[in-house]
Amino acid sequence: MSSRPSWSPSRTIRAIFAERRVYIRTDNSTRYLAIRPATQVVGVIAVAAVLGWAAYATSAMVSRALDGHTAQSKLEVMAEAYKARLAAYANQQLALEEQLNQANQRRDEVTQRLSDKQARLIDAANNLQAAQAELTVLRGEYEDALDAKHDDAARLTKLEARRSELEATITESRTVNANLDSTLARMTQAMDQVVAERDATTDSEARLNGEVVRLATAVDQMQDREDRLLSQLEDAARTSFAGMETLFSRSSIDLDRILAEARRDYSGTGGPFQPITDEDQAASDSIEADTRVASLMQDLDTVNLMRFAAQRLPFGIPFDGGRVTSGFGPRRDPKGRGRGMHEGIDIAAPRGTPVHATASGVVIFAGRQRGYGIVVKIRHAFGFETVYAHNSRARVKVGQRVSRGDWIGDVGSTGRSTGNHLHYEIRIDNKPVNPMKFVEAARDVL
C-alpha cells in the first residue's frame, strides 16, 4: 500500500516557480540566463512590496481627497481605485506573458540555428580530404613565396651596395674634377635607375610579404582541419579497437600472444637506402614530432593486426541451419558408458549437408580415425587446429590448402555416432577449447 507524499512548501514553490531561461544571441555564440525559482520568488516579493506600497500611497491620497465627502463617496472612490489597480495588474501580467512568448520564440530560433550549424560542420568534415590536398598546394606556394622573398632581399642588398658605390664615385668625381659633368650625369642616371629598381624590389617584397601572410593563414586553417580529421580518425580507431578486442575477449584467446606472433610473422619493412635532403629531413622530423599521428598510426597498426589475425582464426560455424545437440565439457556418454569429457560440440543436420572450413589453413588429416569415423583436420595460423568428425565423405586431401568457407566434407554418422551430425572441435596448441565461444563471438561482433 503506497503512502501519499506529504505536502512541502519548498516543493510547491518549485512547482509554481519552475526554472526559466532567457536566451541571448551574439555574433559568435548563443548564451542563456537561467532564472532560478528562488530568484523568481524574490522578484515576486519585490513586485508585491512595490504594489503594496503603491496601494498604501493611493489609499492615503484617496483618504485625504475624501476628507470632505461622505462615507459612501469614499467607498466609491476606493472601489474605482481598486479596479484601476486590478486593470494595471492584468496589463502587467499580459506584458510578462508576451515577453515569455518572445523568449520562447527566440529560443526556438536559436535551436534551429544550432541545428543548421551542426549540418554545416558535417559538410565541412566531408570536405576535409579536399582541404588536405589544398593544404599541400598552399604549402608549396608558401615555400616558393619564401624563396622569392629571400631572393629579392639579396637583390635589394646588392642594389643598396651598388648605390653606395655610385654615390661614393660621384662624390669622388666632384672632388677630383669639376669638369666631369657628363660623367656625373651618367652616374646620376645610373643611380636613379638603381633607386627605381630598389623601389620596385621593395614593392615586390611588400607584395610577397602579404602573400606570405595569406599563405600562412591558409596553412593554419588547413592545420586546424587536419586536427579535426585526426580527432575523427582517433575516434574511429578506438571504436574498431574496442570491437576487435571484444571479439577476442569473448573467445578467451590470449590476444597479446596472437599480436606478438602476427607482428613477428606478418610484419616486415625494407627497400634500398636512399639519402634524403635537408628539406626532406625537416619534413620528416615535423611528422615524427606529432605524437598524435604516431599514436594513431600505432593504434591503426594494432587494429589491422587484430583484423588480420581474426581472418585467419576459426570464427564462425561449419554450416548454417544445424542444431547444437551436445555442448563442450563433461557429459553423459550417448552409448551409455557413464560420464566422459566431450572435447567439442555436436551439430545435428541432414546427411550430406555440406561442411565448410571455418578458417583458412592446411589439411593435415583426411580419413578414418577410431571413434571419429571419417574426419578432417585443418591446421590454422597461431597454433590453431579444427576437427570435423563423423562425416559421410571427405572432400579434401592431406596437404591441400583451404580457405574459409571451402567445402571440406559432408555430414554423416560414421564412427561412434548415434545419428547424422558433425562433431566440431577447436584446439589451441593441441589443447581443446569450447567452440561455442568462437561461434557466439563471431555472431555478436563480426
Give me the domains of the chain, ranges plus CATH numbers.
11-123 (no CATH), 131-230 (1.10.287), 323-445 (2.70.70.10)
Stretches where the chain sits below pLDDT 70 are: 1-18, 22-29, 32-33, 62-72, 173-174, 176-181, 184, 224, 226-247, 249-252, 265-290, 292-299, 301, 335-338, 444-446
Cell numbers standing for residue 164:
653606395
The number of helices, as runs of H, and strands, as runs of E, in the chain is: 9, 14
**Closest residue by Cα to residue 392 from 365, 355, 352, 356:** 352
Note the pLDDT of residue 344.
94
All three cell numbers of 345: 560440440
Cα–Cα dist 281/311, whole Å: 38
Rg, C-alpha atoms of the chain: 44
- Cβ contact 386:359 at 8 Å: yes
Amino acid at position 161, single letter = A
Block residue for cell numbers 668625381: 173
On whether the CB atoms of residues 388 and 365 are closer than 8 A, the answer is no
Question: What pairing do the DSSP bridges indicate for beta strands 345-348 and 323-326?
Answer: antiparallel
In the Cβ-directed half-sphere of 264, how many Cα atoms lie within 13 Å? 8
Tens of pLDDT, residues 186-230: 777 877 887 888 888 888 888 888 888 888 777 777 776 766 666
Judge if pTM exceeds 0.85: no
DSSP-assigned letter for residue 431: E
Single-letter amino acid, residue 24: I
Q: Which letter, b or e, does each residue of 139-172 get, where b requires 16 or more Cβ atoms within 10 Å of its Cβ?
A: eebbeebeebbeebeeebeebeeebeebeeebee
Residues 402, 379: Cα–Cα separation, whole Å: 10
Task: Give SS3 for 418.
Answer: coil
pLDDT at 325: 93
The grid coordinates listed for 45 are 516579493
The residue among 343, 373, 329 whose CA lies nearest residue 355 is 373
Element (DSSP H or E) covering residue 226: helix 181-250
Residue appearing with cell numbers 613477428: 264
On whether the CB atoms of residues 152 and 201 are closer than 8 A, the answer is: yes
How far is it, in rounded angstroms, from Cα 271 to Cα 104? 67
In angstroms, the CA 164 to CA 142 distance is: 33
| pLDDT at residue 126 in the model | 78
Query: Are the CB atoms for 390 and 417 separated by under 8 Å?
Result: yes
pLDDT given for residue 236 in this prediction = 58
Q: What element of type H or E holds 407?
A: strand 407-411
- The reported pLDDT for the residue numbered 177 is 65
Asked if 173 and 180 count as a contact pair (C-beta separation under 8 A), the reply is yes
Q: Which of 346, 362, 361, 249 is nearest to 314 (CA)?
A: 361
Are the CB atoms for 403 and 357 separated by under 8 Å?
A: yes
3-state secondary structure of 377: strand
pLDDT at position 285 = 47
